[in-house]
Amino acid sequence: MDQLIDIKMGKIGITGVNFPAEDMRKMTKYSLADKMDENETTTMEYHIIPIGIRDQQKVIAFLRRFFFRDEPLNHSIQLIPEGENSTCIPLEEYSTSSIDENLSLMAVSSTGTIVGVLLNGKTQAPEHGEPEYITNCESPKFKKTLKLLHYVDQQANLINRYPNKNGIDVRIISVDNNWRGRGIAAALVEKTIVIARELKYDYIRADCTSHFTAKLCKRLGFDSIYELHYADYVDENGKPVFLPSLPHTAITTYVRKL
């Protein structure tokens, strides 16, 4: 399952880049030959285009179906209750908080259906102490995830590790179950690399909660700079806060220098 998550609150707005409609049509087109059944072969095509504010509700609907319930941390603490329409509103708000920075992308099929999303945002310096967005989070379970991500952010220490450098965070990446294993996640990350270079960013960062996205980042030339095993992240009683199912054993921060 291709998934990344780093859903820190975006507090610094940037101009980013806006893509006019004519430029969207020029975005990279991909074609995948896929055997649908024994008697029919079809070509699966998709385009990678920018995500705008107008797409927010469609992106949330996609994440509800393919990401929120199955992401390793969410699944570990059963963040999303059972039920077709159940969700976690604080999670939705944080997941889409960087869309207005105009750095996020989605893969859209030839029929106009979203088949993959990648939510990006500008890297920010972590706050000292517990940030207000964690203190005020109304979901006790999701607050656990925010605390872990904030802790990892502090330990990875990118702002001091790369002083006077600008970075992009790969915050969430998710692909439609029916389209996984066809390189869509890699194509979204590679397109982000192209855009980051065009905008003169110095690096791309991803906090991988999933074993599979960690493998993806490594394959795409990212370097691991920090790793925290879930068994070592414990509560006041010494018990692990998160125990995702195998093979998800750690959260790892990866960086790709540009």
Residue 138 lies in a domain: yes
Q: Is the model's pLDDT at 31 over the cut of 80?
A: no
Residue 38 lies in a domain: no
Tens of pLDDT, residues 131-187: 999 999 999 999 999 999 999 999 999 989 999 999 999 999 999 999 999 999 999
Query: Which structural domain range is residue 251 located in?
Result: 4-9+44-257
- What is the domain count for the chain? 1
Q: Specify the pLDDT at position 84.
A: 60
DSSP strand E in 60-160: where? 105-109, 114-122
Give the integer Cα–Cα distance in Å for 30 and 28: 7
Contacts of 194 (CB under 8 A, 6+ apart): none
Residue 34 lies in a domain: no
Read off the CATH number of the domain in which 69 is found.
Answer: 3.40.630.30
Residue 249 lies in a domain: yes
Give the integer Cα–Cα distance in Å for 220 and 189: 8
Of residues 27 and 203, the one with the higher pLDDT is 203
Q: How many CA atoms lie within 13 A of 179 on its CB side?
A: 24
β-pairing, 40-50 with 114-122?
Answer: unpaired
> Around Cβ 164, how many Cβ atoms within 10 Å?
6
Residue 21 lies in a domain: no
